[in-house]
Amino acid sequence: MNYAIANWKMNLPPEGIEPYMRMVSGRRRDHGTIVVAPPFPFLRDVAEQARGIEVAAQTCADQEKGAFTGEVAPSMIRYCGVGYVILGHSERRTLYGETDALIAKKLAVAIATGLTPVLCIGEDLRVRDSGQAGPHLAEQIHAVTQSIGNAPVIVAYEPIWAIGTGRNASGALCAETVGEVRSAIQRHWSRGDVPVLYGGSVTPENVQDLVTNGAIDGFLVGGASLDSARFLAIYDALAV
């Protein structure tokens, strides 16, 4: 199963939510599943306008309820009509200090609530240049082993050095790394049914190389997802 996930981050589409959702919901969906991930306050609006597409939250709390000011529980996300949640995004790890242990707790409570997690893993330039990307990614996968079980889960490989930098992994580099990710999933989770996506400065201009040579099951799209036409061009590339 292929996926194209539009991660709006802390932005709204310049064209507006309604025109965006009308464009995306109106597209034929022969190439896989479209998922839109808006900021928290707009989850219900987007879910109500989604026709044949899925909606994701961009993170969730590691607790189901309690005295945790500012947090949003997975059950609240489900209440909004949402079925997916992005966890472990590089910005959550690097800007907000989320550790593998915290991400494992979030995964467990999200899965228990019925959400499908999109687990983000990735390496920075120092790790990449040291030749340790494979072991680093394998450790991020191993760290959440007890939280996953046989629940549906999607993995998004996002090299930190390619996010918001204009750089992206070539199809060949992506395929090599994704091969290591799949091997680690099989080793630590004993599963071969986990879709592996790519995220990192994906655009309509570089998507073809990634689709043709990247050995991936779709994309987690950031900046380019804010324009419905550009996002749909990325989605349509999955038809290859």
pLDDT values of the chain reduced to their tens digit, one per residue, 240 residues: 899 999 999 999 999 999 999 999 987 778 899 999 999 999 999 999 999 999 999 999 999 999 999 999 999 999 999 999 999 999 999 999 999 999 999 999 999 999 999 999 999 989 998 999 999 999 999 999 999 999 999 999 999 988 777 777 899 999 999 999 999 999 999 999 999 999 988 999 999 999 999 999 999 999 999 999 999 999 999 987
Instruction: Give the span between the Cα atoms of 47 and 35, in whole angstroms.
Output: 10
What is the pTM for the complete model shown?
Answer: 0.96
Residues 6+ apart with CB under 8 A from 5: 34, 35, 36, 37, 56, 84, 86, 118, 156, 197, 199, 218, 219, 220, 221, 225
User: How far are the Cα atoms of 107, 141, 150, 181, 219 from residue 146, in angstroms, in the given order?
Assistant: 10, 10, 10, 17, 26
Residue 27 pLDDT: 79
Position 70 scores a pLDDT of 97
List 56's β-bridge partners, or say none.
84
Buried b (16+ CB within 10 A) or exposed e, 191-218: eeebbbbbbbbbebebbebbbeebbbbb
> Residues 6 or more apart from 22 whose CB is under 8 A from it?
49
CA-CA distances (angstroms) from residue 221 to 72, 177, 184, 233?
23, 18, 24, 12
For residues 27 and 226, what is the distance between their CA atoms, to the nearest angstrom? Answer: 16
Provide the pLDDT for residue 28.
78
Cβ burial, residue 26 (10 Å; 0-12/13-18/19+): exposed
Which domains can be identified in the chain, with CATH numbers? 3-237 (3.20.20.70)
Please give the positions annotated as active site: 89, 158
CB proximity list for 188: less than 8 A, separation 6 or greater: 138, 141, 142, 145
